Structure 1
Amino acid sequence: MEAKLARLMHEQRRREVTMRGKGALAHVLPYGLFAADPDTAAFIAYITARAYMRSVFTNGRQRQVYDGVAEALFQRLRARPEQTCWSAVAHVHPTSEVLVAVSDEDLTQLLVRWNGFPRQVADLLEDAWNRYPLERETMIVHRGDDSSTWNQAAQAWNTARAHWFAILSALGQEKILDRVCPGKVPRLMAADVAYWHRMSGGGLHPDTYIWAELPLAREVLRGEKECPRSLVDAVCARHGRDPVAGAWTAPRRRLRLSPSTGRPNLYTVLPLRTLSWPVPSGRQECSPATASARRRGSGCDRLPRGLGKSVAQNGSPSNDRRGDEEALRRSARL
């Protein structure tokens, strides 16, 4: 029972770490702040939904949370700054433009929320490290590595670090980083993805080499090793990286705008009652309540009669060319 209890507590901590790593403080944002302004709520909901999207299998950059839709929603906040709840936005989007509109009291409360969290993350990182020490120079997964725990904790560490740096800067307390400036933690990369990077002319991310030379997160937090800003500056210079532009010694100054796909998954953002499905001109508008009728072959989105019959009978469209062409022509006229 004690072993089961310890495992349960471990998984509860891991869940909290995962949620903060993806959505920052969205899950602890009081509803009153969230719902105080509709535009604020829409921006926070969209940003949080984007942050929870799964990573993609690629040899390039991962898609970024902040895209064209997020920028459009943020423009609405800029247009009505007096009605925007900036302290709520700061829970998930701590840019300098947002934090300058937040009171020092609210900033201090946010800083307190983040202060104790990195130690929890460092404990998870240590657990994963102790099970099977990682290859710091490459950060490529090997047999026995607890990559799931490590990657979840690494994302949480980097999120907490980014918020902590941003709030310190907004409070004018960046001098703290002169003494304690913990580095970023990279994720483990699958061997096939690393090979794909090499074959396409890429290689290890430059931040991997910097991380390999800096003290581990737990060593810095426990005071076992020092990691001042001067050390991070020196390591970045050795590897040709700008420590400020790379957010190693300062909060990230500019957001990289991710191109919008044009089809945002708003089902995870907005209540269904606020949605109406886009339909071609001349067709009846289909509400969410009737959209499910598509599955039953009825309602405003039902299949054309001829094509629907062939699908229902055979499980696939009919091979009869004339029948299919007639069904498609009928569909075009709707």
Structure 2
Amino acid sequence: MEALYQTVKQRKRPEDVAEMILTLLEGELTQDEKRMLEKAAQGSLKKHFYAYTSMAQDFFKPIGAEKQVKKTVELFRLNNANTIDADDPVAVEAFIQEISPMIYKDMGKNHYLNDRLNKMQRQAEGMDISKRQYNKLFRRLRFMEKKLRKMNRMAQKSEYEQVAKHGLAHRLSYEEFIKDKYTACFIAYYTTRCNLRSEFTISGQQRPYDEIADMLYKKCTREQSVHQILRNHIFRKDVSAIVNTPNYKAISYVYPDPKVLAHLSDVEKGELLGQWTSVLQEIAEFLAQLWEENTINRTTMVVKRGNDSSTWNHTAGAWNKARDAWMNLIYALGLEFILDQMCFGKVLRLMAADVVAWHYRAGGKLDPNTEVWSKIPLPWEVFREKEICTRSLVKEACHNAGLDAEQSGWIAPRPHGVVAFRPTPELVHGVSVGSPFLASILRKHGYFSGKGLKKVEIEAG
């Protein structure tokens, strides 16, 4: 179970998680269930002779401040370098707060002309160091604060990349995860499906809720089809021997579907709504910052040179994921009247110009969701209460764009179906490549990155 839990925080392929579930549930699966899992597991790395993938198995992790902390400890002549978690922004901030008073500096006051102490001020504070040494320490603390700001921004980007894919799954505790084995299997598999990378295509991305996820959900919730009930009756199969209590609270972290939320108490739904509202607030502030930093064509959402499209798209994805969960909870609690006063919209991702051109050549046109997004107030302005956006306003914009406001998820929980399992493609910047070895070579040289090819020196064997 520990290994299965770790996959929730990683980026394993669904095939590899299916292999783990087969082992974990050995002897507890029906023939149909086993056959379905084997369909995915046959593509696991364990069953391939090369046994590796060129795609990263973990989410992006921010680079810590280990080197910077060690240098600071050396300059300030401290002896606690090994006690500081240099990968944790909170610990790094506490470290800066602790040592700044040593030169009578307040954190955040970094102006080289206005915030440094002059000779008389240093003497008054009893500082027996040279001006050169004082300046060196001041610059070091200023540099550490700059590094901390970068760490915080990278941590935000990493967090939103995960939220965009699988909601709050990575925040699920191990104790909550292992309460029910079948629930754990569903969460692990569905999370890996959510974590699939985007493909370079105009036909839409893979939907995460496939036939295997549906089977695992029904198994953990004891939902059976008429066919299964008749089969169990005919063969006198004792399904009562399978004792499991669905952990709907844990499921809601990654799959806050109305049918899941219906099993939560109002208190649990309220707590979850509070979490998602806080997430929305944090994302709204970051989106506002990105909007100011980038020049984005809101009417087309085609990326332009200089746009930080990766950060924007991860953050937009996180907003939409959080908004979907928030919307589901609003309806589950019977609070949809809130939408008549505040109904913030979705945030559209930036699209590569070549994908848009491909779409038009294939007979397509501008996504109607883009038209809705461009006609209503910016979501973060609504969240900040600087603009007003109501359900009727969004509904009118959807109608004008030819969209069903409810079915498209603009003013109501978005419905979904069950899709067939499809093997995970080996991708290089969204482009499918048959061989992991070839994919690693192409990625190393910068193919399909949109940034030009890299010159890579080949080492002699």
**Shared fold by TM > 0.5?**
yes
* 2:293 is aligned with 1:150: no
How do residues 274-289 of structure 1 correspond to structure 2 at under 5 angstroms?
none
Do 1:128 and 1:145's aligned partners in 2 also have CA atoms closer than 8 Å? no
Do 2:182 and 2:244's aligned partners in 1 also have CA atoms closer than 8 Å? no
Distance 2:291 2:150 in 1: 17
Q: Which residue of 2 aligns with 1:72?
A: 215
Distance 2:424 2:182 in 1: 17
1:206 to 348, 351, 368: 368
Letter in 1 for 2:167: A
Q: Which residue of 2 aligns with 1:49?
A: 192
Letter in 2 for 1:208: T
**1:79-121 CA-partner distances (Å, limit 9, x unpaired):** 1697101111111111111111111111111111111111221
2:417 to 231, 237, 256: 256
**1:181-222 CA-partner distances (Å, limit 9, x unpaired):** 110111111011111101111122110000001111221111
Distance 2:318 2:424 in 1: 25
2:174 to 31, 36, 43: 31
How do residues 79-98 of structure 1 correspond to structure 2 at under 5 angstroms?
79=222, 83-98=245-260
Letter in 2 for 1:11: M
**1:119-141 CA-partner distances (Å, limit 9, x unpaired):** 22122222222222200111111
Letter in 2 for 1:119: Q
Displacement over 6 Å in runs of 4+: none
* 2:285 is aligned with 1:123: yes
**1:272-315 CA-partner distances (Å, limit 9, x unpaired):** xxxxxxxxxxxxxxxxxxxxxxxxxxxxxxxxxxxxxxxxxxxx
Do 1:124 and 1:149's aligned partners in 2 also have CA atoms closer than 8 Å? no
Offset at residue 239 of structure 1 (A):
1.4
Which range moves more in the overlay, 103-112 or 149-158?
A: 103-112
How do residues 286-297 of structure 1 correspond to structure 2 at under 5 angstroms?
none
Do 2:210 and 2:421's aligned partners in 1 also have CA atoms closer than 8 Å? yes
Distance 2:410 2:280 in 1: 16
Distance 1:173 1:201 in 2: 41
Distance 2:163 2:288 in 1: 18
Offset at residue 4 of structure 1 (A):
2.0
SS class of match (2:374): helix
Distance 2:151 2:421 in 1: 39
SS class of match (2:191): helix
TM-score by length of 1: 0.76
Which has more radius of gyration? 2
Distance 2:283 2:366 in 1: 24
* 2:178 is aligned with 1:16: no
Distance 1:49 1:158 in 2: 19
| TM-aligned CA distance change 1:40 to 1:163, over 3 Å | same
| TM-aligned CA distance change 1:88 to 1:191, over 3 Å | same
Offset at residue 264 of structure 1 (A):
6.5
Q: Which residue of 2 aligns with 1:290?
A: none
Do 2:221 and 2:245's aligned partners in 1 also have CA atoms closer than 8 Å? no
* 2:380 is aligned with 1:237: no
Offset at residue 177 of structure 1 (A):
1.1
Distance 1:204 1:63 in 2: 21
Offset at residue 56 of structure 1 (A):
0.6
**1:132-155 CA-partner distances (Å, limit 9, x unpaired):** 220011111110111011100000
Do 1:39 and 1:73's aligned partners in 2 also have CA atoms closer than 8 Å? yes
Offset at residue 42 of structure 1 (A):
0.6
* 2:304 is aligned with 1:179: no
Do 2:344 and 2:389's aligned partners in 1 also have CA atoms closer than 8 Å? yes
Do 2:394 and 2:405's aligned partners in 1 also have CA atoms closer than 8 Å? yes
Q: Which residue of 2 aligns with 1:326?
A: none
* 2:271 is aligned with 1:109: yes
Distance 1:99 1:183 in 2: 22
5+ residue gaps, structure 1, are: 266-334
Distance 2:267 2:201 in 1: 42
Do 1:124 and 1:150's aligned partners in 2 also have CA atoms closer than 8 Å? no
* 2:221 is aligned with 1:59: no
Distance 1:240 1:55 in 2: 26
Do 1:90 and 1:99's aligned partners in 2 also have CA atoms closer than 8 Å? yes
Distance 2:198 2:388 in 1: 33
Distance 1:258 1:140 in 2: 29
Do 2:405 and 2:412's aligned partners in 1 also have CA atoms closer than 8 Å? yes
Do 1:140 and 1:188's aligned partners in 2 also have CA atoms closer than 8 Å? yes
5+ residue gaps, structure 2, are: 1-142, 224-242, 426-461
Distance 1:97 1:16 in 2: 27
Offset at residue 72 of structure 1 (A):
1.1
SS class of match (2:326): helix
How many pairs are equivalent? 263
